[in-house]
Amino acid sequence: MLLYQTVLFDLDGTLIESAPGIFACARAVMQEMGLPSMTDEQLRPMVGPPLAVCFSDVIGVPAERVPEAVARYHRLAKTVGLDAIHPYPGIPDLLKRLKEAGARVCVVTSKVTPTAQAHLVRYGLAPFIDHLWGGIPGGSAEKTFLLQTAVDALATEKANLVMVGDRHYDLTAAHTVGIPSIGVLYGYGSKEEIMGCAPTYTVASVASLSALLLGSSSVPCEQ
């Protein structure tokens, strides 16, 4: 029995392990712009926020050059780092089983919509996704705005919806919008970050997420 009829997934760090690709593309941008290189650990906070925030707050690009950095990233991301990205093991099967059980499966991501759609197609997840809400090129990529847009469009009882994500952006947005949330610990957010958001459920693995969503687990939280 499904725990929720509609499941809204974050993309990076929840459905796909994208950090290696993101880091490769970011480094290519930094090289083009003459910026000093950074380690994976320094770049790790890039996974989750909108790109403008990443370049400003994580990499330290001057405000007047942030639009240039974002534009370069979008251009390079079409070819750079794609082979380093893949779905987390078990995710394709989870999405398939959710669809077979009658769930509505959606993606809400700060990644701009064309890139997010291309990733879903490239990594074999598109057939399982009913709706995608991504960042708007030239517009907002803020997670609460995107999630509220999704919830309004779905027009169903909020108790039947759940947001699944690995960063505080996802869980805070769910709280603000007023829907349940599931924090996943296998992504890019720390345990402290996830638990600090007090999600409805917390899971440590894709297997546990599957058991929870498909109704074969009643465990509310994994430590």
Encoded tokens for 20: 């290696």
Q: Reduced to 3 states, what is the DSSP secondary structure of residue 133?
A: strand
CA nearest neighbour of 165 among 144, 182, 147: 182
Catalytic one among 10, 12, 166, 170?
10
Question: Within a 13 Å sphere around the CA of 19, how many CA atoms are in the beta-carbon half?
Answer: 18
Q: Reduced to 3 states, what is the DSSP secondary structure of residue 175?
A: helix
CB-based contact 199:170 (threshold 8 Å): no
Sheet containing 201-203: order of strands: 131-135, 104-112, 6-9, 161-165, 181-184, 201-203
Encoded tokens for 60: 């330290």
- Does the active-site annotation cover 10? yes
- Rounded (10°) CA dihedral 129, 197, 187, 127: 0
Supply the Cα-derived Rg of the chain in whole angstroms. 17
Question: Where in the sequence numbering do the catalytic residues fall?
Answer: 10
